[in-house]
Amino acid sequence: MNRATSLIRRVRLITHTDPTLVANYIPFPIFAPAWTPASPLTCHHARFLATKQGKGHGKVQKVKPKQDKQEVEIKQKMTVSALAQAMNKDFDHVFEALLNTSVDLDSLEPHSVLEEQWIKEVVKRSGMKYKWAKLVESKERENKDTQRRAPPDPAVLVSRPPVVTIMGHVDHGKTTLLDSLRKSQVAAGEAGGITQHIGAFLVQLPSGEKITFLDTPGHAAFSAMRARGALATDIVILVVAADDGVMKQTIESILHAKKAQVPIIVAVNKCDKHQADPARVKQELLSHDVVCEEYGGEVQAIHVSALKGDNLLELAEATVTLAEMMELKGDPTGLVEGTIIESRSDKGKGPVTTAIVQRGTLKKGCTLVAGKTWAKVRFLFDENNCTVKEAGPSTAVEIVGWKELPSAGEEILEVESEKRAREVVDWRCYQEEQDKLKEDMQAIEVKQREHHESYKKEREPLAHLSWRQRKSALYKANKKLMAMRPSEKLESQELSLPLIVKGDVDGSVEAILNILESYDAHNQCQMEVVHFGIGDVSENDLNLAETFSGTIYGFNVGVNKSVQQMATKKGIILKMHKVIYKLIDDLKDELSSKLPPSVKENVIGVCASVLAMFDVTVGKKKVPVAGCRVQKGQLDRKMKFRLVRGRDVIWEGSLTALKHHKDDVQMVKTGMECGLSVDQDIEFRPGDEIVCYEETETRQTISWDPGF
């Protein structure tokens, strides 16, 4: 009754609100018995009456509006960071989307390039859809580089001094020979008495002729410097010591000269010594295709003594004669062309280069380009550090005004303006970036192929497993690998040597780095150059050394007091050298000091066999004792002992007691019998062999051989 009354009230309320609903009213028994099974339907009909006209019969369902997926614009060879940016996500999102795929996640970096299939896979897994980016036709960048000028008009050519490079083996007297020619003492100022840079000098002979000499280092470390000297020269004077003969760097110098197609004059030096044998030198040169005039060749051989000045005038005349035969001429007009022989950083002058002018006349105010830097020439200096107004063809000169330090061996070209210089440098930097990008893409493609192949091989043994079993097996393998990594990392930290290398000039740093590239003992100790540069040791170098726990090696550079104090405070090792082979020797010693000592075992005595076994009561404990006879050497209680049974080592340790008859003794010699007990509960057997030995630790030496 209560239910029917409430329904009537609801109907009245509805019809009062909207009379149009009466037409849809369906009569039903109001006074139905309470037990009738139709009573639950009454509520349903009442709800139906509340529906508006024109709607369908039945329950009204809410339909969710369709959500459009986010559209991501993709393109070929996208990097991880580019894809994340296109999706408005971060790097970690892309990383997580690539889980359980064949992508090498360990090597995945923001700059890593993804293949097309993985770009699409990341977008799909992120609940987005992709569309290909519209191809934009990019204009090919105009080549703004500068080149050497066309060959000059013969009418403007004038005679020029020859550029002569003095080459040969270390300590064969090259710099002393040049000192004698120019009446100076350069060799006395060289560290260790050996040349470690390319020196450029203009020498005027008594007859009035001028010769530009390049003095190259003869040490094995400076091969690149000798090559540069040979390429920038007209004539090579090959200095060979009469008492030493043809050596390794002599042969290398001959090869450089032949590669540059430069004629050779042989100066057989140190002929004043008793051991001198010039004939042997000429015969040795025959085996390297250097045929002297005495043997029917065209190569002049002059016997000289650089120390006493013997026959130097004859050597100079031979050089001038050869230069006249070559008819050397130069073009002093137009834009300057030249070659950088050496570069360094000077405190007062900034970046400084030593260069040979090959064409044009270099003056103050010229705008030059070399490699990826340029200069507005502020000053020009000669070999005596005196300013000069201009430098013509075949002149060696120091140039001040570079924006950055160019590399030795770079080509110098003059341009019309600073704007043009910037255009050339920008183009060269762009070209280098494009070349590097191509190399990187090739390397990435190769690595991706290798990884895909290794991934397939790793998954082959798991192909028969279900996905749960496969995932479990991979998890266990990764867990085992991660457990091994900390110990590997610790070991690599202990046996590694990070280096910071500083040098006075570009050529010196280049020579040191070339030597370090030959390092092949990484299995003993890792060595890595984390930074290198030109100039004195700075605070930045100390910060790098502190970060990497490295050592700073300096070559012909200084350390001011404040930097030295900071290094001492931070515990950073500074190793300064003026001779390159001493620097390398010091580096080898430091590498050797990182190695663990090798343990050498020295057998002192041997008991041929255990003759008898018995127990001795010590307090309340029975101690097994072996009765032995010393067969060889002696047994010393202080040393270590080993029990050998057949081919197996049963025990190693120390003795607790050593007796001869009933007396405690320190040592038992050959032929004597003794009883001994050990520091463990060991059961001796007849025929056991007891060995007495000592372990000595010896320092290991790094196996790296730099070649000198």
pLDDT at 378: 94
CATH fold of 161-327: Rossmann fold (3.40.50)
Report the mean per-residue pLDDT for the chain.
79
* Residue 55's pLDDT band (cuts 50, 70, 90): very low
Complete DSSP assignment for 357-391: EEES-EETT-EEEETTEEEEEEEEE-TTS-B-SEE
What is the mean pLDDT of the segment spanning 82-108?
A: 85
What's the pTM?
0.59
- E-state strands within 191-286: 199-204, 210-215, 235-241, 264-269
Could you read off the pLDDT of 630-688 as tens digits, one per residue? 888 888 888 889 888 888 888 888 888 888 888 889 988 888 888 888 888 888 888 88
Beta carbons of 245 and 280 less than 8 angstroms apart: yes
CA distance 544 to 120: 42
* Residue 528's pLDDT band (cuts 50, 70, 90): confident
pLDDT at 368: 96
Closest alpha carbon to 199 in 222, 177, 166:
166
pLDDT at 687: 83
pLDDT at 67: 62
* Residue 574's pLDDT band (cuts 50, 70, 90): very high
pLDDT at 20: 45
* Residue 33's pLDDT band (cuts 50, 70, 90): very low
CA distance 4 to 30: 6
Domain ranges of the chain: 71-132, 161-327, 337-425, 496-595, 599-698
pLDDT at 65: 59
pLDDT at 11: 42
* Beta pairing class for 71-74 and 129-132: parallel
- Dihedrals φ, ψ of 271, to 5°? -70, -10
> 1 vs 605, which has greater pLDDT?
605
What is the mean pLDDT of the segment spanning 342-352?
A: 86
* Residue 454's pLDDT band (cuts 50, 70, 90): confident
> 667 vs 457, which has greater pLDDT?
667
pLDDT at 24: 44
**Of 134-148, 212-226, 299-313, the least confident:** 212-226
Identical fold between 161-327 and 496-595 = yes
* Residue 488's pLDDT band (cuts 50, 70, 90): very low
pLDDT at 183: 66
Q: Does domain 337-425 have CATH number 3.90.1150.10?
A: no
pLDDT at 579: 81
Could you read off the pLDDT of 226-243 as tens digits, one per residue? 455 455 788 889 999 998
- Give yes or no for residue 537 having a pLDDT over 80: yes
> 18 vs 566, which has greater pLDDT?
566
Query: Above pLDDT 70, what percent of the chain?
Result: 80
- Give yes or no for residue 197 having a pLDDT over 80: no
pLDDT at 22: 41
Could you read off the pLDDT of 262-285 as tens digits, one per residue? 899 999 998 988 888 999 999 999
* Residue 461's pLDDT band (cuts 50, 70, 90): confident
> 681 vs 14, which has greater pLDDT?
681
**Of 125-134, 399-408, 435-444, 591-600, the least confident:** 435-444
Among 19-23, 179-183, 534-538, top mean pLDDT goes to 534-538
Amino acid at 98: L
* Residue 565's pLDDT band (cuts 50, 70, 90): very high
pLDDT at 133: 78
What is the mean pLDDT of the segment spanning 155-176?
A: 83
pLDDT at 423: 94
Could you read off the pLDDT of 100-138 as tens digits, one per residue? 888 878 778 888 888 888 898 899 988 888 888 776 555
Beta carbons of 178 and 166 less than 8 angstroms apart: yes
- Give yes or no for residue 475 having a pLDDT over 70: no
Could you read off the pLDDT of 361-385 as tens digits, one per residue? 999 999 999 999 999 999 999 888 8
DSSP 633: E
Give the CATH number of domain 496-595.
3.40.50.10050
* Residue 181's pLDDT band (cuts 50, 70, 90): confident
Determine whether 154 is exposed, middle or buried from the number of CB atoms within 10 Å of its CB (0-12, 13-18, 19+).
Answer: exposed
Provide the residue count of the chain: 708
Give the CATH number of domain 599-698.
2.40.30.10
pLDDT at 226: 45
- Give yes or no for residue 38 having a pLDDT over 50: no
* Residue 469's pLDDT band (cuts 50, 70, 90): low
* Residue 478's pLDDT band (cuts 50, 70, 90): low
Name the CA radius of gyration of the chain, rounded.
44
- Give yes or no for residue 8 having a pLDDT over 60: no
> 474 vs 637, which has greater pLDDT?
637
User: For the chain, how far is it from start to end, CA to CA, in angstroms?
Assistant: 117
CA distance 20 to 185: 123
pLDDT at 421: 95
